[in-house]
């Protein structure tokens, strides 16, 4: 139950971030909603494509769809407020990222993927929506540039494999890995961590 | 039979629109043909990926492939003429859009998708090729910006689910939904309908 | 065994080309590695998505993953040297392209695809990584513009179908088609071949 609520929070914050980018790029109301839904559900669709789940569960679950659409639609009207809450949204987004990475890895393990593939599928689930969002509006994906974002996602997804391999329950793995990714991401935002950029002489 | 001819008209107009964009972006002959084929067949490939049809039927059907390639190749030589026929092509494109949305939804229902997933898969089939076309040449997809295009596609795909749910035949659903999307799109072009863009203060 | 070594050379050169683009675009260390891995493994992932291989073999094979990551990571430190070796890399890249096209077609045939679909899947395997690389950094894919690259890939993949259809072994098909694509690409680089661009009056 808690997990389900957290998942919807994740979907909602991802939808808000996608819809905000759409507003900034002067898309129309429908374009803003599409951006929100692709960002919120894109990672899960890519995960299901990689694992062979047809049709992707995101397209089947009306609550997830409704949350993504509803949040995007609301952002159309209150985008100025949402813009001011950017810092709070970043914290929620860190939660969503950790959750998407962990659940992605769990779903992959359940579909017979090894721990290595599960880590990659989990990481892809977490970053997929953001990459789709940025590619659609012709930006180089932010998380390739300077954000300490994909590293916590990948580590969390790998952690799921480790915890399950040790013999603990998947529920515990979800909690541990999500917390780990969330804390790592929030601390990195707070301390301004980033990876270095190779120097070009 | 009529349906098959309409499908090839849809593929042909989508190929022409993709190839025209390729010519405008100064791609070479091969690039123009690739643009035409991705635009014409991309929506169907995405549909089959979502539904788990392997390999995608578009890559298997030589007539569809030949139509997409042939039209793209011809556009290389007569692009000036095609450019002048833009208005007529928009009407054919509206037909293709309606048809792709409806058949996408029917194929989804046949593969066990519920009506909600079928509507999304149908809508994705109709807009997929155009989104791929615009992403490849680094444009923000037109249909996210101001075109009243994806809304009729989604509505038509949803309509298919309704008609079939009521107990009528899929053939009837195809005709009703395609006609609906076509008329809605053509009227919106004629009246200059568009969705509003959120204001940024 | 030889084939396996050639495959890793192909993955390595594709990773190097992706990582170099990442360095040029001022991505951070992680972004550079992601670019290298997407470029090296993207074509194979797309191939497996089209054929319904879940999870994609590229995400399962630790040697392929390690090669792609290792090469990308090394490029971070020695990109200036790699940049000077560009001509030698182009030759290795031609080998990788031929190999990806041929193996893509063979895998497609083994999964029940007809020769036409196999040719398209093989061509997509060879060019997929490069297209993903360019789309991620907002460039119109190079190979749509002026490179004589996708044509040899498609021809090689089609050649696999012909050789197998004639009744010869897939191993022979791999050698013949890879050699053909490699020679055609290297000669085209050497002679400066390219396809014409449609004139806009």
Q: What is the pLDDT of residues B7-16, one digit of tens each?
A: 888 899 999 9
**Quick one: tokens of C159?**
């050649």
Expressed in angstroms, the distance from the first to the final Cα of chain B is 54
Confidence of residue A100 (pLDDT cuts 50, 70, 90): very high
Output the pLDDT for position A1.
Answer: 65
Residue C194 pLDDT = 72
Question: CA C126, CA C102: separation in Å to the nearest integer?
Answer: 9
**How far is the CA of C44 from the CAs of A199, B193, C63, C102, C143, in angstroms?**
31, 43, 14, 12, 18
Q: Which of A111, A52, B42 is nearest to C52 (CA)?
A: A52
> Tell me, what's the pLDDT at C25?
86
Q: Taking Cα atoms as reference points, which of A33, A38, A25 lies closest to residue A77? A: A33
Burial of C154 (0-12, 13-18, 19+ CB in 10 A): buried
* Res A157: pLDDT: 94
* Torsion-angle region of C112 (φ positive above 0: left; ψ -120 to 50: alpha; else: beta): left
Residues of C in contact with A201 (CB under 8 A): 80
Tokens describing residue A99: 């959750």
Determine whether the interchain pair C111/B54 forms a contact, defined as Cβ–Cβ distance below 8 Å: yes
A59 with B117: Cβ contact below 8 A: yes
- Position B59 scores a pLDDT of 85
* Structure confidence at residue A165 (pLDDT): 86
Mean pLDDT taken over chain C: 88
Nearby residues of B183 by Cβ (< 8 Å), 6 or more positions away: none
Place of tokens 């569809």: B64
Q: Give C201's pLDDT tier (boundaries 50, 70, 90).
A: low
pLDDT reading at B194 higher than 80: no
Could you give the CA distance from residue A109 to residue C172 in angstroms, rounded to a whole number?
37
Measure the CA–CA gap between A15 and A7, rounded to whole angstroms. Answer: 12
What value does the mean pLDDT take over residues C8-24?
A: 90
Q: Which two tokens stand for residue C13?
A: 């050169």
Do residues A43 and A105 make contact, with C-beta atoms less than 8 angstroms apart? Answer: no
10 Å Cβ neighbour count for C166? 9
B74 contact C CB<8A = no
How many other C-beta atoms are found inside a 10 Å radius of the C-beta of residue C183?
Answer: 13
| C-beta of residue C28 within 8 angstroms of C-beta of residue A29 | no
Chain C nearest CA to A51, separation (Å): 5
pLDDT one-digit tens code per residue, B67-90: 999 999 999 888 888 778 878 888
d(C-alpha B157, C-alpha C145), whole Å = 36
Which pLDDT belongs to residue B41? 93
C-alpha triplet A29, A93, B199: angle, nearest 5°: 25
Which residues lie below 8 Å from residue C23, measured CB to CB, with a gap of 6+?
A: A198, A200, C32, C75, C76, C79
Mean pLDDT of B38-53: 92
Best of B55, B69, B72 to substitute, by most chain C Cβ atoms within 10 angstroms, is B55
Whose structure tokens read 């809605």? Answer: B184
Under an 8 A CB cutoff, do B49 and C49 touch? yes
DSSP state at residue C1 = -
Question: For B28-58, b where at least 16 C-beta lie within 10 A, e where not — what string?
Answer: bbbbbbbbbbbbbbbbbbbbbbbbbbbbbbb
- Interatomic CA distance for residues A60 and A54, integer angstroms: 10
- CB–CB of C6/C98 below 8 Å? no
- Tell me what the pLDDT averaged over chain A comes to: 88
What residue has token string 């859009």?
B97
Q: Say yes or no to pLDDT of A36 above 90.
A: yes
Give the closest residue to C95 by CA, choosing from C182, C184, C174: C182
How much of chain A exceeds pLDDT 70, in percent? Answer: 98
**Which H or E element spans position C163?**
helix C150-166
Could you say which DSSP state residue B59 is in? G
pLDDT class of A93 with cuts at 50, 70, 90: confident
**Which one of B27, B62, B135 has the shortest CB-CB distance to C144?**
B27
Predicted confidence at residue C104, as pLDDT, reads: 92
Of C153, C163, C86, C87, nearest in space to C123 by CA: C153
> pLDDT tier at B96 (50, 70, 90 boundaries)?
confident
From the DSSP assignment, how many helices (H) and strands (E) are in chain A? 7, 0
| Per-residue confidence (pLDDT) for residue B119, from 0 to 100 | 93
Question: Using an 8 Å Cβ cutoff, are B159 and B177 in contact?
Answer: yes
Task: Answer yes or no: do B28 and C114 touch at CB < 8 A.
Answer: no
At residue B118, the pLDDT reads 93
* pLDDT score of B145 more than 80: no
CB-CB under 8 Å, C80 with A201: yes
- C192 — contact with chain A (CB < 8 Å)? no
Q: Which two tokens stand for residue B152?
A: 């009729």
pLDDT score, position C1: 65
Q: How far is B11 from chain A (nearest CA, A)?
A: 23
Predicted local confidence at residue C85, as pLDDT: 80
pLDDT at B100 (0 to 100): 92
The rounded distance, in Å, linking the Cα atoms of C105 and C156 is 9
SS3 A138: coil
Angle at CA B93, nearest 5°, toward B92 and B95? 65
Q: Is B73 in a helix, a strand, or coil? A: helix
Does C144 touch chain B if contact means CB atoms closer than 8 Å?
Answer: yes
Q: Report angle CA C100, C102, C104 to the nearest 5 degrees.
A: 65
Q: What is the pLDDT of residue B1?
A: 65
Contact B102, B172 (CB under 8 A): no
Per-residue pLDDT of B147-186, as tens digits, reads 788 889 999 999 999 998 888 888 889 999 999 999 999 9
- In this prediction, residues C30-37 reach a mean pLDDT of 91
- Angstrom distance (rounded) from CA A131 to CA A151: 14
CB A97 within 8 A of CB A14: no
Mean pLDDT value across chain B: 88
Q: pLDDT band for position C81 (50/70/90)?
A: confident
Please state whether the peptide bond connecting residue A34 to the residue before it is cis, i.e. omega within 30 degrees of 0: no
**Has residue A81 got a pLDDT over 70?**
yes
Check if A196 contacts C (Cβ < 8 Å). Answer: yes
Check if B141 contacts C (Cβ < 8 Å).
no
Which pLDDT band, with edges at 50, 70 and 90, does A67 fall under?
very high
- Chain B residues closer than 8 Å to A138 by CB: 138-140
Q: What is the interface pTM, i.e. ipTM, of the complex? A: 0.83
Indicate the pLDDT class of residue A47, thresholds 50, 70 and 90: very high
pLDDT of B2 strictly over 80? no
Helix B62-84 vs helix B86-110: crossing angle, to nearest 10:
150
What pLDDT, on the 0 to 100 scale, is given for residue C7?
81
- Is any Cβ of chain C less than 8 angstroms from the Cβ of A150? yes
Q: Which residues of B touch C111 (CB under 8 A)?
A: 54-55
Query: In the structure encoding, which two tokens stand for residue B143, read together?
Result: 């249909």
CA Rg, chain B, in Å? 16
Structure confidence at residue B170 (pLDDT):
86
**CA closest to B127 among chain A residues:** A34
pLDDT at B92 over 80: yes
Whether A140 and chain C come into contact, CB under 8 Å, resolves to yes
Chains in touch with A (3+ beta-carbon pairs under 8 Å) read B, C
Taking an 8 Å cut-off on Cβ atoms, the answer to whether B137 and C138 are in contact is: no
Neighbours of chain B (3+ CB pairs under 8 A): A, C
Tokens of C22: 């990442």
Report the candidate in C27, C50, C23 with the shortest Cα–Cα distance to residue C120.
C50
CA distance B134 to B143: 10
């Amino acid at each position: 139950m808690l997990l389900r609520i957290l998942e919807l929070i994740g979907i909602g914050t991802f939808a808000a971030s996608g819809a905000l980018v759409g507003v900034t790029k002067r898309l129309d109301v429908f374009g803003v909603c599409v951006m929100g839904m692709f960002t919120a559900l894109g990672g899960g669709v890519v995960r299901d494509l990689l694992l062979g789940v047809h049709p992707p569960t995101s397209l089947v679950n009306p609550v997830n769809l409704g949350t993504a659409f509803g949040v995007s639609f609301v952002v159309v009207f209150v985008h100025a407020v949402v813009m001011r809450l950017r810092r709070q949204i970043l914290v929620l987004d860190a939660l969503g990222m950790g959750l998407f990475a962990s659940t992605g890895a769990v779903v992959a393990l359940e579909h017979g993927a090894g721990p290595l593939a599960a880590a990659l599928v989990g990481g892809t689930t977490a970053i997929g929506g953001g990459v789709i969002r940025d590619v659609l509006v012709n930006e180089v994906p932010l998380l390739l540039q300077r954000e300490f974002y994909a590293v916590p996602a990948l580590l969390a997804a790998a952690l799921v494999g480790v915890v399950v391999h040790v013999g603990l329950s998947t529920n515990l793995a979800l909690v541990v890995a999500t917390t780990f990714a969330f804390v790592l991401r929030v601390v990195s935002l707070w301390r301004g961590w980033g990876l270095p950029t190779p120097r070009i002489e």
